[in-house]
Amino acid sequence: MLRAHCVPAKGRVGCTASGSKLGLVKEITMNAQASESEHPDHRQLRQLLDEARALNLPAFPDQQRVWVAESPLAQEIKSILAKHPEYYAEVRAVVGPVFPEPKS
Looking at the fold, whether 90 and 55 belong to one and the same domain comes out as yes
Q: Is the pLDDT of residue 11 over 60?
A: no
User: What's the sign of the alpha-carbon dihedral 77, 95, 100, 61?
Assistant: negative
Backbone angles phi, psi at 7, to 5 degrees: -145, 150
- Residue 100 binned pLDDT confidence (cut-offs 50, 70, 90): confident
Report pLDDT digits (tens) over 64-92.
Answer: 888 889 999 999 999 999 999 999 999 99
Q: How far is 4 from 101, CA to CA, in rounded Å?
A: 47
Cβ–Cβ under 8 Å, residues 99 and 77: yes
pLDDT of residue 64: 84
Looking at the fold, whether 18 and 62 belong to one and the same domain comes out as no
Q: How far is 82 from 84, CA to CA, in rounded Å?
A: 6
What residue numbers bound the domain in which 15 lies?
Answer: 3-37
User: Which of 4-8, 9-13, 26-30, 96-100 shows the lowest per-residue confidence on average (mean pLDDT)?
Assistant: 9-13
User: Which of 12-16, 31-35, 82-86, 95-99 shows the lowest per-residue confidence on average (mean pLDDT)?
Assistant: 12-16
Looking at the fold, whether 55 and 18 belong to one and the same domain comes out as no
Looking at the fold, whether 49 and 88 belong to one and the same domain comes out as yes
Looking at the fold, whether 44 and 90 belong to one and the same domain comes out as yes
Looking at the fold, whether 44 and 91 belong to one and the same domain comes out as yes
pTM of the model: 0.61
Q: Helix or strand or coil: residue 83? A: helix
Residue 103 lies in a domain: no
The residue with greater pLDDT, 45 or 10, is 45
Contacts of 88 (CB under 8 A, 6+ apart): 81, 99, 101, 102
- Residue 34 binned pLDDT confidence (cut-offs 50, 70, 90): low
Q: Is the pLDDT of residue 12 over 50?
A: no
